Amino acid sequence: MKKSVLVFLLVVVGKVVFAQYDPKALEILEAMSKKYKAIAAFEANLTSALTNETEGIKEEFKGKITVKGDKFKLSLEDQEIINNGTTVWTYLPASKEVNIDNFDPKSDDINPVKIFDIYKKGFKYLYLGEKTEAGQVLEEVDLVPEKKNAQYFKIKMLISKKDKSIQSWTMFDKSGNRYKYLITKFISNIKVDDSFFGFDPKKYPGVEVIDLR
């Protein structure tokens, strides 16, 4: 009897571990990460959407992102975020101000560069299956943070089964907000100088510089 109970418990624990760190999900995520890490620099057009069904919020923005190693420049309609791997500039055209801060690579904040290998630390992952969108077969993977007080309680990723490229990712926070990023165009191996990932206040007459460092 004791042996049967022990076997049952081992099976249950095994299923829980499998559900939390799904090897199928890991295989997909590692193939995706390897793909992007092999690209020296890339540019992508994307659509960003914020929805909250309870609050009746539905907002959509179009943007463009350029990535080179740990550097990126994200341009949206209402703001521009530039990260050169050391410093982060957040430029707000409407208010003519730019906030400058140090970049902390150990921060829990999710940025466009981190999304490609975020699963490697602090997340459980689960493969949910395949789905077809716009004639393309996608593999659906959920990332769930190990910390209960994490900013987001889930990140859903849709990855192309054919070439392991990310088609979209959606972040769910505890207030009911959903932030979805959909890649609409992707250009790999572009040529871009490191100086592109910086902000020169002299080129923006009248801009207020708020240094938070």
* pLDDT above 90: residue 15: no
Q: What is the CATH classification number for the domain harbouring 164?
A: 2.50.20.10
Residue 79 lies in a domain: yes
> How confident is the model at residue 151, as a pLDDT?
82
Residue 10 lies in a domain: no
> How confident is the model at residue 13, as a pLDDT?
38
Q: Where are the alpha helices (DSSP H) in the chain?
A: 2-20, 23-37
Residue 7 lies in a domain: no
Residue 77 lies in a domain: yes
Average pLDDT over residues 156-179: 94
> How confident is the model at residue 108, as a pLDDT?
64
Backbone angles phi, psi at 177, to 5 degrees: -80, 140
Of the pLDDT bands very low, low, confident and very high (cuts 50, 70, 90), residue 105 is: confident
Tell the burial category of 53 from Cβ atoms under 10 Å away from its Cβ (0-12, 13-18, 19+): exposed
User: For the chain, what is the domain count?
Assistant: 1
Residue 41 lies in a domain: yes
Pairing of strands 136-145, 123-133: antiparallel
**Beta carbons of 136 and 121 less than 8 angstroms apart:** no
pLDDT tens figures, 31-71: 999 999 999 999 999 998 999 998 999 999 899 999 999 89
Range of the domain at 194: 22-211
* pLDDT above 80: residue 177: yes
Residue 14 lies in a domain: no
- The amino acid that residue 209 corresponds to is V
